[in-house]
Amino acid sequence: MPEGPELHMASRYVNRVCAGVVFSGAVEKSEVSKNPEVPFASEAYRISATSRGKEMRLTLTPIEGEDSKDGGETGDPQPMDVVFRFGMSGFFRFTPEDELPKHAHLRFYTRERPRQALSFVDIRRFGTWEPNGNWQPERGPCIMFEYHSFRENVLLNLLDRAFDRPICEALLNQKYFNGIGNYLRAEILYRLKIPPFVKARTVLDGLLLKDHAEKNAKRAKEESTPVQVSEMSLSKKVKVKRETPDLLSLCHTVPLEVLQLGGKGYDPEQSGDSSFQEWLQCYCVSGMKSLRDHNRRTMWFQGDAGPMAPKNSKSPKAKKRVTKQGGDESDDKQVVQEKFQDNKVKGDKEETEGKTGLKRGKGAERNLEATSPVNKGKTIQKRKTATAEQAERRSGRMTRARAKQGS
């Protein structure tokens, strides 16, 4: 599903294609969408976009005086914010009116002729929009553009039950990690070599002490107070640790790397941008392991899964794996082994189906033979002959019985 970087790239796309464009009329919703109507209409308005984590907001701003000039009865309409959540496959497209995408469920039309349309396209229809909406209050600060608030929100709430769960599942909690999704959590944990099914609080506890030590050292430096030798030593250690990224800092920098790629990022419906596929180190990469977490989401990782891994959890069959160039021989062997197992299961299935089909085929032949016109006639004739013989035998028995009675 689109994650924080993809939502931000969508907002940049909208701002680029809508720059200087005047929209007009009512907002149009498709008949099949179950999302609410957007009660906005204006003779002239502009569209701008912003993102925050896994949400994106369109702002519809009427151009002052345009509605009243064109005879509007109620005067200029008020600006409206429409907040979007993309679900599994949402995105925006700007096209001519006669080339609307098939699954364009919300459409904003330009005033110029021939008209064009900005469309929210959602193939799977899991995406939502909210007219006059706001950022959801239960979502935390954005991992990319509110980093300090994001970090503080996590570290000050480590006693929350959300951090009793494995770290891979806690990373999908949008109350604390607004913008992190399935591929980002795999890439972040892989870079730090953290087993995905280790308790989240165990991973994050040390970061709170580190931040406190850094703040104390910074405060002491600003106040120009004498610093003891032990404090200086601690300050140096903090500086060294700061140079090595921790989990929360990677939650900020890894999504920014996706933005710097210049492509479209993760695309669940298409093969995606080649630069993004090359950037992936763990997610859907050949040679990596995968397990379903307690929420049935697939977690990609390398090495040990961790003590909180679900029992009897099996690796789901991947629809597609990214083959990295320059991989070692063990990766190639694992790919070959996976293909061999898949082919073996497929062959066994086909063999079983073939045997079943053979048995069914014999039965079908017998049914066909019995219902053919020639054989059907023979069967009827046999039945008539048998009936006549039975009648003759009964007649003979009756004649002998009468003869005995007469004697």
Mark whether 78 and 183 lie in a shared domain: no
CATH of the domain at 189: 1.10.8.50
As a whole number of angstroms, the distance between CA 194 and CA 203 comes to 8
Last residue of a domain, one of 217, 241, 261: 261
Give pLDDT, residue 272: 56
Catalytic residue among 6, 43, 54, 255: 54
Mark whether 124 and 22 lie in a shared domain: yes
The whole-chain average pLDDT of the chain stands at: 81
Assigned domain for 214 exists: yes
Mark whether 185 and 127 lie in a shared domain: no
pTM: 0.72
Residue-wise pLDDT for 175-234, tens only, equals 999 999 999 999 999 999 999 999 999 999 989 887 777 777 777 776 665 544 444 444
Mark whether 87 and 160 lie in a shared domain: no
Mark whether 62 and 174 lie in a shared domain: no
Assigned domain for 53 exists: yes
Closest by Cα among 47, 35, 40, 36 to 127: 35
Mark whether 119 and 226 lie in a shared domain: no
Last residue of a domain, one of 131, 163, 187: 131
Assigned domain for 163 exists: yes
Is the model more confident about 115 or about 361?
A: 115
Residue 168 pLDDT exceeds 60? yes
Closest by Cα among 161, 243, 238, 165 to 207: 238
Mark whether 71 and 157 lie in a shared domain: no
Mark whether 19 and 56 lie in a shared domain: yes
C-alpha dist (Å) from residue 59 to 12, 118, 131: 13, 13, 10
Q: What is the domain range of residue 109?
A: 4-131
Assigned domain for 74 exists: yes
Looking at residues 269-289, what average pLDDT do you find? Answer: 85
Assigned domain for 180 exists: yes
Share of the chain above pLDDT 70, in %: 70
Residue 356 pLDDT exceeds 50? no
Mark whether 122 and 172 lie in a shared domain: no
First to last CA, the chain: 102
Specify whether 324 is catalytic: no
Assigned domain for 338 exists: no
Assigned domain for 320 exists: no
CATH of the domain at 11: 3.20.190.10
Last residue of a domain, one of 233, 261, 289: 261
Q: Count of domains in the chain? A: 2
As a whole number of angstroms, the distance between CA 100 and CA 117 comes to 8
Looking at residues 119-124, what average pLDDT do you find? Answer: 96
Specify whether 3 is catalytic: yes
β partners of residue 285: 322
Specify whether 54 is catalytic: yes
Do 133 and 57 touch, CB atoms closer than 8 A? yes
Mark whether 80 and 12 lie in a shared domain: yes
Model confidence at 404, pLDDT cuts 50, 70, 90, reads low
Assigned domain for 221 exists: yes
Mark whether 24 and 122 lie in a shared domain: yes
